[in-house]
Amino acid sequence: MAPPATRFLVLSDIHANGTALDAVLEAAAARWDRAVCLGDLVGYGPDPNEVIERIRTLGATAIRGNHDKAGCGLDEAEDFNDIARQAVMWTRQQLHPENRDYLRKLPAGPLEVDGVVLVHGSLHDEDEYVFAPAQALPGLLDAPTPVCFFGHTHFQSGFSFRDGKLEVLHLHPASTVQFTALRIEPGTRYLLNPGSVGQPRDGDPRAAFAIADLVHHVVEFWRVPYDVRAVQQRMRRAGLPEPLVLRLSHGR
């Protein structure tokens, strides 16, 4: 059996953006020994097969997101808006059968891996958006490990809980730096979102991810620039909806 991971590469919401994923893997090179993915490998972006194949090659431990369920046909995308549903239909047409099968077999969160818990939305509902402290509290209280990673909102963000006090953490690195580091304190519980690799919505168009070193009690929250225009060109060629193309420029 492989030894437990000491440094996790934490990816979420890649959304079929192969160029952003490449930039992340280049920046993170040799800094991690186990990759995990919090869901939404596909949807919105132009590279669903490439992203799935890359995640499989990395040997990443992945859970499913709502776009993975819709893209492989496990979910009919009835609660998606028109634009998102158009992207779902395009993704379904593109997926190679073996990649569709890979998505169909992805487990739902929560999934515990080497001392951390992975969820897509929240601990109790894989499709819930956790933006506010009240939404974070049940996960902070009930997660089986002190550190739980979540995605789905596309905001690099987090919460901590200690001695009855919930704190909102500011983890987003300034535009002039590549990462901010969070010290993990013993006795404190954390709910942490690495941000979205392929479609950030927190106002920073750079690709987001995290590196968690639980031996040294530190989680780094990274942002790296990538060639947004190259992705936008592929999206336009594929006929994906223009609002999805434009939002990548603004990270909103």
Task: Name the residues that contact Zn ion, by CB under 5 A.
Answer: 13, 40
By C-beta, is 40 or 213 nearer to Zn ion? 40
Tell whether omega for the bond before 110 is within 30 degrees of 0, i.e. cis: yes
Contact of 156 with 221, CB cutoff 8 Å: yes
By C-beta, is 44 or 222 nearer to Zn ion? 44
Which residue of the chain is nearest Zn ion when measured via CB? Answer: 40
Please name which of 231, 221, 174 lies closest in space to residue 199, comparing C-alpha atoms.
231
By C-beta, is 5 or 36 nearer to Zn ion? 36
Minimum separation from the CB atom of position 198 to Zn ion (A): 9
Minimum separation from the CB atom of position 37 to Zn ion (A): 11
The three-state secondary structure class of 36 is strand
Minimum separation from the CB atom of position 11 to Zn ion (A): 12
**List of residues 6+ apart from 172 with CB closer than 8 A:** 156, 157, 180, 195, 202, 204, 221, 223
Residue 187 is encoded by which pair of tokens? Answer: 């006795």
By C-beta, is 150 or 161 nearer to Zn ion? 150
In degrees, rounded to 5, the angle at the alpha carbon of residue 228 between the alpha carbons of residues 205 and 16 is: 90
Minimum separation from the CB atom of position 40 to Zn ion (A): 4
